[in-house]
Amino acid sequence: MTITADTLLAGWDRGLLTARDRVIDSPRVRERGRLVRASGLVLEIVGLRLPLGAHCWIEQIDGRDHAEAEVVGFSGRSLLLMPFAETTGLIPGARVWPVLGPPGSRTGAAKSMPVGPALLGRVLDARGRPLDGGPLPSDADHAALAGASINPLERAPIRNVLDTGIRAINALLTVGRGQRLGLFAGSGVGKSVLLGMMARFTAADVIVVGLIGERGREVKDFIDNILGEAGLARAVVVAAPADTSPLLRLQGADYATRIAEDFRDRGQDVLLIMDSLTRYAMAQREIALAIGEPPATKGYPPSVFARLPTLVERAGNGRNGGGSITAFYTVLTEGDDQQDPIADAARAILDGHFVLSRQLAEAGHYPAIDIEASISRAMTALIDATQLSRVQYFKRMFSRYERSRDLIAVGAYAAGSDPTLDEAIALHPQMESFLQQGMSERSDHHDAAAGLAALVAGNEATS
Ligand SMILES: Nc1ncnc2c1ncn2[C@@H]1O[C@H](COP(=O)(O)OP(=O)(O)OP(=O)(O)O)[C@@H](O)[C@H]1O
Ligand SMILES: [Mg+2]
């Protein structure tokens, strides 16, 4: 056979390709990319082919540790990455390596996070690292961040009452195990205090708290003063405050949900508290806008509205006979605007919403739950007809009074002209004190139901 230049070159090519493949597949040698652009939060790299969600290390100057970043999008042949923490030492052309999974895998490491009972009483960040000073227990179980979804037809229905320890909720807005609710409120109207009361008083095996995107100072305050030692003992707290990257804020919420799922799969009844769902949505908005997704509804890109249900749907009951996750998500209604797009979306995907009213808080009425504006969609399946008629009677009397509140206040209402209103006026002081509750007072479900029955007794029949 004659050796031509062509066959020689083809042979070299084949040899080179085989050698290249061997090098790339070798676990000891990694592919490498280059940083070509940094604009705002987004880093653009070339030379790597990785799936969305894969992690990379990026070289930093001055001998700093490599920065870790996640692939959040791509454009043509370049990958768009977002770092997990603030980066200061990046330079044009910096080298980028994929964080490899098990040998042979080219898709990046699956995120494996600590979960399970060893975490009780602990405060962790969004990456599962302790924030409370102590080391992570060596016997902590680990699980992939993404939980397996449950076939909706296999989920146990919401059938059992959950005792929240809050009188107004237990009696008038009964919550069931596995229900997912929104706590809608503006700033400073008592969300944290109410959530803390629930965390301490609720009849649940485990409390998982996700503090997402709130001020750092609040995290400490919530743990020390609101949750307290007793609350923390049966709780796991995941904190991703406002100064962490949007990626970590998203991951913090996913991680808290994953911890709750793990306890549920162990057959336990979990109370998941997420403060706040709005900040979770804002983190997704930050990422989506940074990689060029167009804003749609009031500045929120569509991916935000796609992401909310995927988080919320993970809470709820497990399979029949298994555990449950009852979840409360706080939703910020800036300027008490109930029409905010996130509030709207949350109302549509949750099984009820409790509205905290600034007016009540300003009047010193705590918890400032607006009974008229709040609803628990599972309630009718949880309480009997007698209880339901008492609830309806209470709400009727309460609204009747509220509608005429101004008239009554200025003395323009002449007693006797409207028998229902007379009844509402007579009952009002009792209704007010029934709805109020001190921070350290617990009211169990039976006491609340009995209190409501006593309040309504004698009047129900006449209404
Ligand atoms: N049950 C209660 N009894 C008495 N005071 C209360 C009660 N709940 C809340 N407060 C008062 O309301 C204040 C604000 O409450 P909280 O910090 O829970 O509000 P927030 O809605 O979480 O505020 P932010 O929006 O700043 O996070 C508390 O400092 C406390 O004085
Ligand atoms: Mg708060």
Q: Where are the beta strands (DSSP E) in 302-379?
A: 316-317, 324-332, 352-355, 375-376
Q: Is 438 in the pocket of ligand 1 (CB under 6 A)?
A: yes
Residue 294 predicted with pLDDT over 80: yes
Q: Which amino acid is at 124?
A: L
Burial of 130 by CB count in 10 Å (0-12 exposed, 13-18 middle, 19+ buried)? middle
Across residues 61-67, what is the average pLDDT?
Answer: 76
* The predicted structure's pLDDT at residue 21: 59
Tell me the pLDDT band of 22, cut-offs 50, 70 and 90.
low
Residue 109 predicted with pLDDT over 60: no
Tell me which residue of 241, 315, 329 sits closest to 278, measured CA to CA. 329
* The predicted structure's pLDDT at residue 462: 46
Q: Is 191 in the pocket of ligand 1 (CB under 6 A)?
A: yes
Residue 102 predicted with pLDDT over 60: no
Q: Is 192 in the pocket of ligand 1 (CB under 6 A)?
A: yes
Tell me which residue of 60, 87, 59, 84 sits closest to 71, measured CA to CA. 84
pTM: 0.86
Q: Reduced to 3 DSSP states, what percent helix, strand and coil does the chain have, rounded to the nearest 5?
A: 40, 20, 40
**Residue that the structure tokens 């009747």 belong to:** 400
Residue pLDDT, tens place only, 147-187: 777 888 888 888 899 999 999 999 999 999 999 999 999 88
Q: Which atom of ligand 1 is nearest to the CA of 368?
A: 8
SS (H, E, C) 181-224: EEEEECCCCCHHHHHHHHHHHCCCCEEEEEEECCCHHHHHHHHH
Tokens of 366: 């705590």
Residue nearest to atom 16 of ligand 1 (CA): 190
- Distance in Å, CA 73 to ligand 2 centroid: 33
Q: Is 242 in the pocket of ligand 1 (CB under 6 A)?
A: no
Residue pLDDT, tens place only, 369-409: 999 999 999 998 899 889 899 999 999 989 988 888 888 87
Tokens of 346: 């949350």
**Ligand with minimal distance to 189 CA:** 1
Residue nearest to atom 8 of ligand 1 (CA): 190
How far are the Cα atoms of 411, 425, 458, 459 from residue 419, in angstroms, in the given order?
17, 10, 15, 12
CA-to-CA distance for 203 and 200, rounded, in angstroms?
Answer: 9
Q: Which atom of ligand 1 is nearest to the CA of 189?
A: 21
Choose the residue to mutate in 169, 183, 193 for probing ligand 1, maximizing ligand atoms within 8 Å of C-beta: 193
Choose the residue to mutate in 192, 356, 370, 437 for probing ligand 1, maximizing ligand atoms within 8 Å of C-beta: 192
